[in-house]
C-alpha cells in the first residue's frame, strides 16, 4: 500500500503530533474557534490513547538480583562520525560484553583500534555497514537475505554461550522516507517475523530500527513475536537525535523475549546523531 509509509511515519511521531494538537486546541479555545478546538482535542485523546496502548510493548528494567548478566549495546556510529576511542572507553567502564554497530564504514573501522583491542571476537558485513564485537566467542554467525537488497540490509544472527546461552539477531532497519524504502524495512521485519514468530524460544534482537514502538509496522513485529523493547523506569529514554535530549525518540532498541531486563542505559552520542543503548539481561527464572 503506497500510503502505508505515511501512516507509519505519522504515528512514529505521535508524541509531537499530540503536543501540536494540544497547542492548537488551546489556541482555538482562546479564539473561540470551537470546531478546531474539538478536532484538536479529539486528536489529543486519540494519539494519547494510542501511546498508552504501546506500553504493552515495553519491558521495564527491575532488580534481577545477584545473577549472571549479559550486557549488550547497540550503537549507530553515523558512518564514522562517532568518536570510537571514547566509545571504547565507555564500553570498558560499563563492562559491555557485546556491541552491535550500524553504519560502521571501512573508514570508520580504521579509527576503531581501541575498540577492536577490547573485543577479540568480531564479524562484519561486506561491504562494511553492520558489525558485531564480542568479548565472548560468537558461534553460528550468519545472515538472512532480504529480497532484492544488499548485504547491508540483511538480518544477522549469532549464538552466544557466555554468560549464558542466547540467540542474538541484529540489523540496521531501513528508514521509511518513501514508499520504496518503507517496503525494504517491511521486508526486514518479515524476515525477523518468520524467524521468531513460531515457538517461544528466548531471543535478543538489537539494532537501529528507525522506528519507535508507536510505528504500526514495528509494533506489529513485536506483537507477532512477543519481543519487547527494554527501557528504564517509566519512560522510554530517547536515543535519536542525540542533540534533542529528552525531546528525542527511541529508535535504537535491544528487544528481548524470555529474558529478565535488569538495567537500561542510554549513553551520550560520542559525536554521532544516535546515542548507544546498553541493556543488561539475565536468564528468566524457571516457570
Per-residue pLDDT reduced to its tens digit, 36-85: 888 888 888 877 777 777 888 999 999 999 999 999 999 999 988 999 99
32 and 84 housed in the same domain: no
Write out pLDDT tens, residues 235-271.
Answer: 678 999 998 888 899 999 999 999 999 999 999 999 9
Are 93 and 221 in a shared domain? yes
For the chain, give the percent of residues with pLDDT over 70.
97
CATH of the domain at 149: 3.60.10.10
The parent domain of residue 169 ranges over 58-283
What are 181-187's contacts with CB under 8 Å, separation 24+? Answer: 181/5, 182/4, 182/5, 182/8, 182/217, 184/146, 184/149, 184/153, 185/210, 185/211, 185/217, 186/217, 187/146, 187/147, 187/148, 187/149, 187/153
- In a shared domain, residues 99 and 35: no
Residue 44: the pLDDT is 80
Opening angle at CA 129, ends 277 and 250, nearest 5: 25
User: At what angle are helices 179-196 and 4-12 packed, to 10 degrees?
Assistant: 80
Instruction: Answer yes or no: do 39 and 126 share one domain.
Output: no
Domain count, the chain: 2
> Domain check: are 25 and 95 in the same one?
no
CA pair distance 103, 81, nearest whole angstrom: 10
Q: Which residue has the higher pLDDT, 176 or 75?
A: 75
Q: Where are the beta strands (DSSP E) in 7-146?
A: 58-60, 70-76, 98-102, 121-124, 130-134, 138-144
Closest Cα partner for 230 from 220, 242, 222, 221?
Answer: 222
Tell me which H or E stretch contains 43.
Answer: helix 34-53
One domain, residues 273 and 185: yes
pTM for the model stands at 0.91
Q: Are residues 114 and 226 both part of a single domain?
A: yes
Q: Are residues 51 and 67 in the same domain?
A: no
pLDDT band at 33 (very low <50, low <70, confident <90, very high): confident
Q: What is the DSSP letter of 239?
A: -
pLDDT, tens only, 187-235? 999 999 999 987 668 899 999 999 999 999 999 999 999 999 999 976 6
Same-domain status, 17 and 78: no
Average pLDDT over all residues of the chain:
90
Residues 166 and 62 in one domain: yes
Cis peptide before 163 (omega within 30 of 0): yes
The predicted structure's pLDDT at residue 269: 92
Read off the pLDDT of each residue in 141-168 and give the average, rounded to a whole number: 89
Confidence of residue 186 (pLDDT cuts 50, 70, 90): very high
Nearest to 184 by CA among 195, 196, 176: 176
Amino acid at each position: 500500500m503506497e500510503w502505508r509509509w505515511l501512516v507509519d511515519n505519522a504515528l512514529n511521531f505521535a508524541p509531537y503530533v499530540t503536543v501540536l494538537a494540544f497547542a492548537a486546541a488551546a489556541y482555538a479555545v482562546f479564539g473561540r474557534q470551537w470546531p478546531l478546538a474539538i478536532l484538536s482535542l479529539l486528536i489529543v485523546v486519540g494519539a494519547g490513547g494510542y501511546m498508552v496502548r504501546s506500553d504493552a510493548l515495553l519491558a521495564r528494567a527491575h532488580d534481577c538480583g545477584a545473577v549472571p548478566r549479559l550486557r549488550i549495546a547497540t550503537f549507530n556510529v553515523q558512518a564514522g562520525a562517532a568518536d570510537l576511542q571514547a566509545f571504547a572507553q565507555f564500553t570498558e567502564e560499563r563492562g559491555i560484553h557485546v556491541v552491535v554497530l550500524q553504519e560502521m564504514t571501512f573508514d570508520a573501522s580504521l579509527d576503531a583500534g581501541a575498540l577492536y583491542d577490547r573485543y577479540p571476537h568480531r564479524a562484519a558485513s561486506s561491504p562494511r555497514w553492520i558489525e558485531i564485537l564480542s568479548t565472548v566467542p560468537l558461534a553460528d554467525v550468519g545472515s538472512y537475505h532480504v529480497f532484492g537488497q544488499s548485504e547491508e540490509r540483511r538480518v544477522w544472527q549469532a549464538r552466544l554461550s557466555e554468560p549464558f546461552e542466547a540467540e542474538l539477531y541484529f540489523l540496521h532497519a531501513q528508514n521509511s522516507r518513501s514508499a520504496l524504502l518503507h517496503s525494504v524495512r517491511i521486508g526486514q521485519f518479515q524476515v525477523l517475523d518468520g524467524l521468531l514468530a513460531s515457538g517461544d524460544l528466548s531471543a535478543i534482537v538489537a539494532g537501529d530500527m528507525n522506528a519507535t514502538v508507536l510505528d504500526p509496522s514495528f509494533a506489529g513485529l513485536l506483537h507477532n513475536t512477543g519481543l519487547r523493547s527494554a527501557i528504564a523506569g517509566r519512560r522510554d529514554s530517547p536515543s535519536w537525535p542525540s542533540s534533542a535530549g529528552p525531546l528525542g525518540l527511541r529508535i535504537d532498541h535491544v528487544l528481548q523475549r524470555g529474558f529478565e531486563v535488569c538495567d537500561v542505559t542510554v549513553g551520550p552520542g560520542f559525536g554521532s546523531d544516535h546515542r548507544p543503548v546498553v541493556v543488561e539481561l539475565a536468564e528468566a527464572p524457571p516457570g
